[in-house]
């Protein structure tokens, strides 16, 4: 690019009687070249940041699975950026926060996305807080008895039903660049109610989506990241087969389920 600009400047110096029209054309060409170069550099930087984010999300999921195996429960989120899990998170509003990296024994760097911000974390309340009687006993098999769904996830315009015998258990997401006002889908993710929107990253002027979100069911979290299987778990069937290996495609909610759950027209 520097070579092109120097040639244009040399041409301007050498040409006598250079007209305003010709000068305008030359400057326009230079502007197009500069814009293309900046766009390419920006795309490469963004791709690198997304790659770091996905690597850190995978590491966090693995750490959550190991914590679940050792502590027989998942940690509650951290209410702030200090990284210490809450003592309890019985309700959906308490079950969403930041990654509890101190509780998990992780570096704060690993809990951050590619933009240097601590990622968000949502957890199934009955998999994290057993003071409400969700699970009794000290055996890991007790985890396999949790069967109700707390998460509502909208993926690419359709609602995913949380499998009753194998509920969605964790969500980890990055807020991405988070420049400007949040879009409708981003506001849904940032609301403390375990409702999430998963869609392709977009810089659309009116409806941007900059969040990078991954989620896992209980069996996928344990089976894929910790090597433990609940009775009846079939890895080949349950582990997600999509572009994102951390996600599992569940059937869309039926109309009756939608009526029971509420109006979910959000996140478009």
Pairing assessment for the beta strands 152-155 and 158-160 based on DSSP bridges:
antiparallel
Average pLDDT over residues 21-25: 71
* Separation CA 101–CA 75 (nearest Å): 10
Provide the 8-state DSSP code for 209: B
pTM of the model: 0.69
pLDDT digits (tens, 9 = 90+) for 182-218: 888 888 888 888 989 898 888 777 778 888 999 999 8
Domain ranges of the chain: 19-261
Percent of the chain with pLDDT over 90: 28
DSSP 8-state code for residue 84:
P
Average pLDDT over the chain reads 74
Q: Which residue has the higher pLDDT, 264 or 218?
A: 218
Give the separation between CA 73 and CA 64, rounded to whole angstroms.
Answer: 9
Contact of 103 with 37, CB cutoff 8 Å: no
Q: Report pLDDT for 229.
A: 79
Strands 152-155 and 195-198: parallel
If we measure between CA atoms, which residue out of 196, 138, 200, 209 comes closest to residue 168? 196
Task: Return the top range by mean pLDDT from 52-61, 120-129, 146-155, 182-191.
Answer: 52-61
Task: Identify the CA nearest to 159 among candidates 78, 265, 79.
Answer: 265
Q: What is the mean pLDDT of residues 66-82?
A: 92
65 pLDDT above the threshold of 70? yes
């Amino acid at each position: 690019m520097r070579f092109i600009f120097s040639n244009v400047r040399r041409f301007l110096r050498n040409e006598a009687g250079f007209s305003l029209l010709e000068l305008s054309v030359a400057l326009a060409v230079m502007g197009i070249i500069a814009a293309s170069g900046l766009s390419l550099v920006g795309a490469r930087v963004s791709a690198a940041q997304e790659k770091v984010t996905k690597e850190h999300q995978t590491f966090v999921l693995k750490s959550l699975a190991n914590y679940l195996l050792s502590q027989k429960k998942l940690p509650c989120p951290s209410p702030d950026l200090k990284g210490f899990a809450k003592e309890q998170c019985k309700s959906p509003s308490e079950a969403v926060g930041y990654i509890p990296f101190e509780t998990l024994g992780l570096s704060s760097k690993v809990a951050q996305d590619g933009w240097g911000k601590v990622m968000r974390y949502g957890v199934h309340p009955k998999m994290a807080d057993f003071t409400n009687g969700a699970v009794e006993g000290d055996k890991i098999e007790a985890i396999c008895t949790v069967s109700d769904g707390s998460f509502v996830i909208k993926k690419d315009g359709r609602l995913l039903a949380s499998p009753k015998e194998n509920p969605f258990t964790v969500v980890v997401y990055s807020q991405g660049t988070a420049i400007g006002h949040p879009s409708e889908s981003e506001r849904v993710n940032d609301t403390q109610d375990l409702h999430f929107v998963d869609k392709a990253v977009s810089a659309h002027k009116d409806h941007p989506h900059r969040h990078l979100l991954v989620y896992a069911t209980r069996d996928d979290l344990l089976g894929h990241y910790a090597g433990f299987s609940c009775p009846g778990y079939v890895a080949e069937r349950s582990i997600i087969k999509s572009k994102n290996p951390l996600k599992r495609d569940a059937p869309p909610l039926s109309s009756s389920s939608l009526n029971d759950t509420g109006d979910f027209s959000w996140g478009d």
